[in-house]
Amino acid sequence: MNATTPGPVSTALRRRALAAGVHFLLSLLVALLTALLVLWLWYPSPYDVLAGGRGLFWLVVSVDVVMGPLLTFVVFNEKKPRKELVRDLAIIGAMQLGALAYGLHTVYAVRPVALVFETDRFRVVTAFDVRVQELPRALPAYRELPMATRWLLGTRTSQAGDERLQAIDLALQGYDVGQRPSYWQPYEQSKAAALERARPVSVLLKQYPQAQSDLQQRLSAHGLAADSARFLPVMARAQGWSVLLEPDGDIAGFVPYDGFF
């Protein structure tokens, strides 16, 4: 055998690598389509960070993209009967699609469905957070959770008596009013309360003097002035963010600076 002629082992490895490479490219194409679904539809910016969508996406996609091509490299062998090889590759494809479907179902189940003002803060509420048994008691517009949009909501105050006691009891169980559909109302009805509890952005600038340049740039990007804009902290999977409010109380955007101080 000529020294430059590849042996049967190296030829087999190259063919395995080629098959795995083709599988990898197909997996990347699926990953790009998945990115459109997850990061554009379910977790658009900044919810990809606030609700953890970016991390969940990479976890699902990385496992799926690595698993399929790696298994293809292991099982691919042209010496196998064609029927057996097709069966092995079909099993790998089914496993990969099953893992992707399970991952996407999980990502969908914890998608953000609302940004809710409650008392003195905003909360990013995910579908998993919602106390679903209260959905029939919500206002008609809020009885079915949105699939690809995020509501902007406020919350009403508890009525004195049994309702207030129940609110305290459920809060101890982990359900604040922002997670309870029976308390939801349009944000317009809570805007005055949000403005009353919000603080001037100048306070945020003083709290983070090392970030003044970045904050000023973000304010300018939203068309806000530090002496008129206000902010409130936001509770989300990603901690340390605040919501920027325009002078009339409308939501202007988000900044990655903790407003709980």
Residue 37: pLDDT above 80?
Answer: yes
Handedness of CA 47, 256, 196, 161 (dihedral sign): positive
Q: Could you tell me if 47 and 120 lie in one domain?
A: no
Q: Could you tell me if 30 and 83 lie in one domain?
A: yes
Look at residue 174 and tell me if it is in a domain. Answer: yes
Domains contained in the chain, number: 3
Q: Could you tell me if 104 and 132 lie in one domain?
A: no
Look at residue 1 and tell me if it is in a domain. Answer: no
User: From CA 80, how far away is CA 97, in angstroms rounded?
Assistant: 24
Q: Which of 94, 109, 124 is the last residue of a domain?
A: 109
Q: Could you tell me if 238 and 176 lie in one domain?
A: no
E strands present in 64-150: 112-118, 121-126
Q: Could you tell me if 148 and 168 lie in one domain?
A: yes
Look at residue 146 and tell me if it is in a domain. Answer: yes
- Tokens coding 153: 């909501």
pLDDT digits (tens, 9 = 90+) for 40-59: 999 999 999 999 999 999 98
- Which pLDDT does position 63 carry in this prediction? 82
Q: Could you tell me if 116 and 191 lie in one domain?
A: yes
Contact 25, 74 (CB under 8 A): no
Q: Could you tell me if 134 and 98 lie in one domain?
A: no
Weakest mean pLDDT among 59-73, 143-157, 240-254: 59-73
Look at residue 2 and tell me if it is in a domain. Answer: no
Q: Could you tell me if 13 and 104 lie in one domain?
A: yes
Q: Could you tell me if 23 and 105 lie in one domain?
A: yes
Look at residue 57 and tell me if it is in a domain. Answer: yes
Q: Which letter does DSSP use for residue 230 in this model?
A: E
Q: How far is CA 186 from CA 95, 116, 139, 142, 147, in A?
A: 44, 9, 9, 10, 18
Q: Could you tell me if 127 and 182 lie in one domain?
A: yes
Q: Which of 141, 145, 21, 36 is nearest to 72 (CA)?
A: 21
Residue 8 banded pLDDT, cuts 50, 70, 90: low
- Which pLDDT does position 215 carry in this prediction? 93
Mean pLDDT value of segment 210-217: 92
Angle between helices 8-35 and 82-109 (to 10 degrees): 30
Look at residue 3 and tell me if it is in a domain. Answer: no
Residue 162 banded pLDDT, cuts 50, 70, 90: confident
pLDDT digits (tens, 9 = 90+) for 170-202: 888 989 999 999 999 999 999 999 999 999 999
E strands present in 12-166: 112-118, 121-126, 151-155
Whole-number mean pLDDT of the chain? Answer: 91
Residue 4: pLDDT above 60?
Answer: no
Residues 6+ apart with CB under 8 A from 248: 191, 195
- Which pLDDT does position 78 carry in this prediction? 81
Look at residue 136 and tell me if it is in a domain. Answer: yes
Look at residue 228 and tell me if it is in a domain. Answer: yes
Residue 164: pLDDT above 90?
Answer: no
Q: Which of 58, 85, 109 is the last residue of a domain?
A: 109
Contact 173, 219 (CB under 8 A): no
Q: Which of 109, 133, 148 is the last residue of a domain?
A: 109
pLDDT digits (tens, 9 = 90+) for 63-79: 888 888 999 988 888 88
Q: Domain of residue 184: give its range.
A: 112-196
Q: Could you tell me if 176 and 220 lie in one domain?
A: no
- Which pLDDT does position 9 carry in this prediction? 61
The predicted model scores a pTM of 0.86
- Tokens coding 233: 């902290």
Mean pLDDT value of segment 77-95: 89
